[in-house]
Structure 1
Amino acid sequence: MTAAEMTGIGVSPGVASAPAARLAPPPALPADTGPEADTGAALASATAALAAVAADLEARAERADGPAAEVLYAQAMIPEDPALADRIAQGLAEGRSAPHALAGAFDSFKASLEAAGGYLAERAADLDDLRDRAVAALLGLPMPGLPDPGHPYVLVARDLAPADTAALDPSTVVAVVTEQGGPTSHTAILAKSMGLPAVVACPDAAALADGVPVLVDGRTGLVAVDPGPERVRRALEGEARRTEALAGSRGPGRTADGHAVQLLVNLGSPADLDAAAAADSEGVGLFRTEFLFLDRETAPTVEEQTAAYAQVFAAFQGRKVVVRTLDAGADKPLAFADHGDEPNPALGVRGIRLARTAAGAALLDDQLAAIGAAATAGDADVWVMAPMVATQAEARAFAARCRDHGLDTAGTMIEVPAAALRAARILDDCDFASLGTNDLGQYALAADRMNGALADLLDPWQPALLDLVSLAAEAGRESGKPVGVCGEAASDPLLACVLVGLGVTSLSMAPSAIPAVRAELASRTLDECAVLAAEALHADDAAEARRRAAC
């Protein structure tokens, strides 16, 4: 190792130090032995391997919490796709051995999804791990997994599949460093939800060998190699002081001069509920409802949904809960909905667009009926918003539909650039808007969220993204209606101040991020936040925007 320090993108704050341990390589694919003597038996063995992988992922999902469980349930659906078995059968018919037919089917799937672009690249990136697990199951080998050196370690990998990230034990894995990935990758989101320091997009990490001591700063993106005990001591003591200071940060969000900024939590499923409700927040800024829909063959009933929503509303009595209606399609297809044959599903029928069909409209009406019933039975302040709204007509129709179901506070997600550009018109028909900066940035800069090579374009400090936020926030100011941020950008303390300076009225994030954001806001006046925002907007790129705001 020649360099004493490496840099990547810090995606989950915190400081930790331990020896590095690399993710074990996947099992090697044996030489292709040619046609199978019994292709029927070979196909049965391959499909049994797929079933074993799906069952393993479902079992992991049942043991996991929050976003990890959601991701794993979605992953478990992929090996069960009948089209995958069809491609294996085709490979066997062409004379390949079972392991090669199985691997080839996944590779073919991956190529198709990569060609589709957009959100499907997220699924494509995960197919390598699913392929390796299926091949291991077919060959009777242990499935790829995390290292077990017998002591706490910093996990180093080219990238992490959702199954690996969800299985992390924070008592053993003290931090994560990956060569690839981006700010909104599964690794980033799940590490943050677990409170693990994490650095992604650190290509130099490829040179890290097992056992080399490293110091990881998930706030700055710095990875120090063989840092020495004194440097580690100073870094850990500094982090301890920072943690202690943040622990004393309580109450509603305020700037130094008393300007109110609601600090809210993101909620992915009832599994997150206890931690989210215990957080010192003013409510939920994003309640994702997909967990009720994605891992099943039939749509949930109104009664099932009502019970699930009522549980959340009861936990947040007297506080705001912003429910996002079903955001399915693209990388989150529904087994019971016909998504059609879309050449580019990321730009197709997803989110509110499902309601364009009779079946999708019925799904939406059932969901709104359930939310309305649960809201009536509880004491939470329930707001409802639709994902993927692009036009004023869509916003108007959704708001009317909400009110038909007794839901008086109806809003829209702004994650399509068209919605940001026309935010003033959209807010004419809605009560509020919430900016999904992950998707808004992806669409604005034409950069897939999971493409680590484009991490600089996916950086939420991109001035073009901040321009769109500014447009939406200004529309909110002029209409007197709240405009919040519920994307990952809200959890960056300094960027949170920039967003407030742009006019954002609320910030929603992982519960663990709230203390740092609250403390940072409390250290600056609203005018100072506006100055930071102006500096960031006048930068040429994300790196310069961050530097100018930090000065």
Structure 2
Amino acid sequence: MSATSTSTAPAGPDAGAALRGTPVVPGLAVGPVVRPALRVRLPQVPADGGAGVVPEDERDAELERARAAAATVAERLSARAAAATGDAAAVLGATAQLAADRGLLSEVRKRTRAGATADVAVVAASERFADLLAAMGGLMAERVTDLHDVRDRVVAVLTGQPEPGVPRPDVPSVLVAEDLAPADTAGLDPARVVALVTRGGGPTGHTAIIARQLGMPCVVATAGAETLEVGETVLVDGGTGVLERRPDEAAAAARVEADRAERAAAATWAGPGRLADGTPVAVLANVADGGAAATAAAGPAEGVGLFRTELCFLGTAVEPDVEAQAGVYVEVLAPFAERARAAGGPGDGTDVKVVLRTLDAGSDKPIAYATPAEEENPALGVRGLRVVRRDAGLLERQLDAVALAADRTGLRPWVMAPMVATEAEARDFAAAVRARGLVPGVMVEVPAAALLAARMLAHVDFLSIGTNDLTQYTLAADRLSADLADLNDPWQPAVLALVATTGLAGQRAGKPVGVCGEAAADPLLACVLVGLGVTSLSAASAAVPAVGARLATVTLEQCRAAAAAALDAADPAAARDAAAAALG
């Protein structure tokens, strides 16, 4: 968090000119600008790394101070993860893991033993790893913001400073920052912070993901965001990415109230997912744990389109055994099995859909026992299903745990593999899943999978498009790069073309094709996706009502017209406008 609590607007766009960024979460909000608190004061790191400053007989004690501070930060973040649910819990858990990272602590140990003070050692070690992550690009570069947040928190503990954080404004305000750490975004109070605006970040970064879970209007990669002054009133349009500076107060309040009323009406949508002409489109929820599943089951979501199983693995130093994994999976399956049976159905998976994704380790989610410690380019390395190249038993044991959870709940989940690129991978995975009486599918996250969708469907029963990674890999654009945010946009015609290829393959095979990436949370894009052949959409629970309500207003013919218009557009902005026009 590089922004400060007070500022003088530097040279940039005219003070009254509107700013534009990448829209992430639709909605209108107006309020004065607030910024994150001043950053923790960091020590200067001498050219020699601080070597020789601490007497030799005190160096072990200095190392223990650093270890204890890191453990304190990891414990606090873990506690916040335990209190959160869904995406916020997963993101906070991953950040807690970073605070306890063995490689980082090893670098700290090397520097304290050379005579550096604990705080200097933490800063120097963090910067070394930050440089490495930035050089890797892709998803690993996304971790730099998280690493800097962990560094600041550890230094704060060591030096007695307040931990970094975001303000609690007295009036509903718009939070503007360079970027936000997961620990800050996950802890926001939507009653006090009504919108998020960042200069950095991307539409699939941690800030965007958690903002969607909170249902908070959000715009990222905003050119000129640094010129916004603290206290200045801005009107944020999370649907278009436009920020109006110092708007007419009465007009802005009326627009926000109209938007609030529209969203409140959408929030009453109770399902099931259906177009205006009666065409069924399942609207599902993305979940990461039992708490999120219980929340989703209590709402209008018809099931789960993406159960991220990483949370079961991220918080452990060793692989959890089959029994431990099965316990986590039961917590997610049980609420939907119970809801189905309460409605008079069998609750066995024929009347409720829960899609479980096998371990998506690697890249920004490194796991010591599952992925290589160092790779030249982790985003293109051993991640997702590719972990079986190193340890086939990891997948076998996870599938055994899923089958055990299915037996205990009576619900037969659909199981899909991430990062599938070849027909052979789809074939082998399907065989392993079917051997346990489960429903096999694969994710379409790389262009190869979309291009081979018809051949994949010869082996599996369904496909699920992960638009976050599909967009990144199709456009070769780092998902967190503000400079490439216009490329890293699911409205890109090239991405929509790959979705169309996948949807057509599903139609011809008579098998379902879903979307479980962040694109499914955009009500307008949801209509386009349906027009491209998508049969189900899965989003954060907070986004489900808006998506379902929007779909209920359009026909399949309109969705197809909007999809054709978007495909013909030259860029994402034109695609949005063309789709909106086609839908009237």
* TM bucket, shorter chain: over 0.9
1:57 aligns with 2:77: yes
Does structure 2 retain, via aligned residues, the 8 Å contact 1:188–1:198? yes
Corresponding residue for residue 495 of structure 1: 525
Corresponding residue for residue 15 of structure 1: 28
1:47 aligns with 2:78: no
Q: Which amino acid aligns with 2:204?
A: T
Corresponding residue for residue 441 of structure 2: 411
SS across alignment from 1:16: strand
- For 1:64 and 1:210, how far apart are their aligned partners in 2? 30
Structure 1 segment 294-309 matched on structure 2, within 5 A: 294-309=314-329
CA deviation vs aligned residue, 1:293-331 (integer Å, no higher than 9, x gap): 111112222222222222222211231101111111111
SS across alignment from 2:122: helix
Corresponding residue for residue 485 of structure 1: 515
Structure 1 segment 507-526 matched on structure 2, within 5 A: 507-526=537-556
Q: Which amino acid aligns with 1:204?
A: G
1:346 aligns with 2:346: no
Residues 7 and 300 of structure 1, relative CA distance in 2, 3 Å threshold: same
Deviation for aligned residue 1:153: 2.4
Identity across the alignment (%): 53
- For 2:540 and 2:44, how far apart are their aligned partners in 1? 46
Corresponding residue for residue 391 of structure 1: 422
Q: Which amino acid aligns with 1:212?
A: E
Corresponding residue for residue 53 of structure 2: 36
Does structure 2 retain, via aligned residues, the 8 Å contact 1:306–1:371? yes
Corresponding residue for residue 329 of structure 1: 362
Does structure 1 retain, via aligned residues, the 8 Å contact 2:371–2:387? no
Deviation for aligned residue 1:240: 2.9
SS across alignment from 1:203: coil
Corresponding residue for residue 504 of structure 1: 534
Does structure 2 retain, via aligned residues, the 8 Å contact 1:20–1:156? yes
Residues 17 and 115 of structure 1, relative CA distance in 2, 3 Å threshold: same
More deviation, 145-154/388-397: 145-154
Residues 370 and 92 of structure 1, relative CA distance in 2, 3 Å threshold: closer
Q: Which amino acid aligns with 2:451?
A: L
Q: Which amino acid aligns with 1:111?
A: D
Does structure 1 retain, via aligned residues, the 8 Å contact 2:145–2:179? no
Corresponding residue for residue 172 of structure 1: 192
Residues 299 and 215 of structure 1, relative CA distance in 2, 3 Å threshold: same
Corresponding residue for residue 300 of structure 2: 280
- For 2:199 and 2:418, how far apart are their aligned partners in 1? 32
Corresponding residue for residue 561 of structure 2: 531
- For 2:546 and 2:30, how far apart are their aligned partners in 1? 21
Show structure 1 runs of 5+ residues with no match: none
1:270 aligns with 2:298: no
Deviation for aligned residue 1:95: 6.4
More deviation, 157-166/95-104: 95-104
Deviation for aligned residue 1:4: 4.8
Deviation for aligned residue 1:354: 1.0
CA deviation vs aligned residue, 1:464-511 (integer Å, no higher than 9, x gap): 111111111111111111111111111111111111111111111112
TM-score (norm 1): 0.95
SS across alignment from 1:256: coil
Does structure 2 retain, via aligned residues, the 8 Å contact 1:92–1:101? yes
Corresponding residue for residue 4 of structure 2: none
Corresponding residue for residue 342 of structure 2: none
1:468 aligns with 2:481: no
Does structure 2 retain, via aligned residues, the 8 Å contact 1:67–1:269? no
CA deviation vs aligned residue, 1:88-136 (integer Å, no higher than 9, x gap): 3444566655433321111110111222222211212322222222222
Residues 528 and 338 of structure 1, relative CA distance in 2, 3 Å threshold: closer
SS across alignment from 2:142: helix
1:86 aligns with 2:106: yes
TM-score (norm 2): 0.89
- For 2:105 and 2:532, how far apart are their aligned partners in 1? 51
- For 1:106 and 1:424, how far apart are their aligned partners in 2? 46
